[in-house]
Structure 1
């Protein structure tokens, strides 16, 4: 257990504390989108609709921040570790590969929680979004959990090849997923075929769960099952890709 916490501390230092610009942009972009869309897309809205929009878009930008850090940052961080032979250090150290991935997940859980706090402060101060303290704590706990399937996707992307391929795939995953699942624009304005895709994405299930918590509504079984199925698919996908990579390495020996 001490080895695991030591690995977590190393990851915090090399991913966040030695790269504070990354932390700034990871939080600043969703905040900028939140301020833009809550001030531009609110023309002629009634007071009740505006209140709901401000809180719902807060959730959307929290999920968008989690999506970026879980896919783009996870994929590029793991790829850098592969190219710089840091993963070889993991093989030779007492840390297992499972603990290595788990320590990464702890770091990116913290990033998701940072997005909740920073966006929550902006939403509260700028748009007067009011959420009870208990609800804040629940959201702070739930957002990292709903990002698990997204982190699994990021791990899978990191296993696909070179930096060019990883960067291309990261962008092809993040931005279409953000649009299709309604994180940028409401699903109501999208064509039916895109709605059918968007309502089955992990980001849609995650935002639906958090919105239900904020509005004190019941959470549907479909939402829980959707997140669970995506998590299982992600875990299985990682195992298959690792198995495939190992077979390739054995063939090249």
Structure 2
């Protein structure tokens, strides 16, 4: 516990140093929401669409951190030999990764609070407090799949390749998952692909709760399956990398 406390303090210090990055990853989705919700508001759009788009932009904000911050931080720790130093210290690698998870989830929580606040105070999105909290928890728990994908990207052999793969995956999940606009605008074959993405499935969990106050069991299972499968893949790849 003592080691974890020190690691978490260090993570908080590093978060302060990366404040400019977080401003972009949280600010950009907020701006997108203001622009597109403003266009929607002028065309008698139902409130449920404004709410749905708000939560889509929240997931979009979280994905930005997952695909760019996580690989960058892990790669930096590797090149600076911080990970090797941890391995030869009383601190375990489990504690190291838990501290990274702590700072990542703290960043995600900040994204949720900021984007939700923009929707509520600027666009007048209103929900009972319990619904705000439950939807925030759904997004935060569901974000584990994006954390796993970010860690997977960090295992690529070069920073350039990480950047390319991260950008392509990030944009594909945003567009195909329906975070920017409904996937019904796409041809049927693209809709089929889009419905397989974890971003789409997570939003299905959110929208089902939002509209019916019930749980979308199939979407939850698919999102969990993605998280488990990617986590197992990470463990296998790390073993191979360590052997080499």
* Equivalent position to 1:128, from 115, 119, 124: 124
Shift of 1:196: 1.1
**Does structure 1 residue 104 correspond to structure 2 residue 100?**
yes
Structure 2: stretches of 5+ with no match in the other structure: none
Deviates more, 1:230-239 or 1:198-207: 198-207
Shift of the alpha carbon at 1:151? 0.4
Q: For 1:111 and 1:224, locate their aligned partners in 2 and report how far apart those are by CA, in whole Å.
A: 23
Structure 1 residue runs of 4+, over 4 Å off?
Answer: none
1:63-89 superposed Cα distances (whole Å, 9 cap, x missing partner): 001111112111111111111111112
Deviations along 1:183-213, one digit per CA (max 9) or x if unpaired, are: 0111110111111111121111212222233
Aligned pair 1:76/2:72, yes or no? yes
Give 1:3's aligned residue: 3
8 Å contact from structure 1 (residues 62, 112) kept in 2: no
Answer whether contact 1:180 1:194 (CA < 8 A) is retained.
Answer: yes
The CA deviation at 1:32 is 0.9
What is the total number of aligned residue pairs between the two structures?
A: 244
Q: TM-score, normalised by structure 1?
A: 0.91
Alpha-carbon offset, residue 44 of structure 1: 3.1
* Structure-1 residue corresponding to 2:199: 203
Aligned equivalent of 1:234, options 217, 220, 230: 230
Shift of residue 114, structure 1, vs aligned partner: 1.0
Distance 2:137 2:5 in 1: 20
Q: Which of these residues, 79, 83, 88, is aligned with residue 84 of structure 2?
A: 88
RMSD, aligned α-carbons: 1.5
Cα distance in 2 for residues equivalent to 1:243 and 1:154? 18
Unmatched 5+ stretches in structure 1: 249-253
Q: Would the aligned equivalents of 1:27 and 1:118 in 2 still touch at CA under 8 Å?
A: yes
The answer as to whether partners of 1:113 and 1:143 remain within 8 angstroms in 2 is no
How many Å apart are 1:216 and its aligned residue? Answer: 4.3
Tell me if 1:119 matches 2:115: yes
Map 1:137-152 to 2 at 5 A: 137-152=133-148
Question: Is the CA contact 2:30–2:115 (under 8 Å) kept in the aligned structure 1?
Answer: yes
TM-score under structure 2 normalisation?
0.95
Counterpart Cα distance in 2 of 1:132 and 1:43: 25
Conserved? CA contact 2:3–2:91, under 8 Å: yes
What is the rounded CA distance, in whole Å, between the counterparts of 1:118 and 1:234 in structure 2?
Answer: 29
Partner of 1:25: 24
Does structure 2 retain, via aligned residues, the 8 Å contact 1:149–1:230? yes
Partner of 1:13: 13
Q: Which moved more, 1:86-95 or 1:74-83?
A: 86-95
Q: Is contact 1:75-1:157 (8 Å) kept?
A: yes
| Residues 139-194 of structure 1: per-residue CA shift (max 9 Å, x gap) | 23222210101101100100111111111111011011100000011111011111
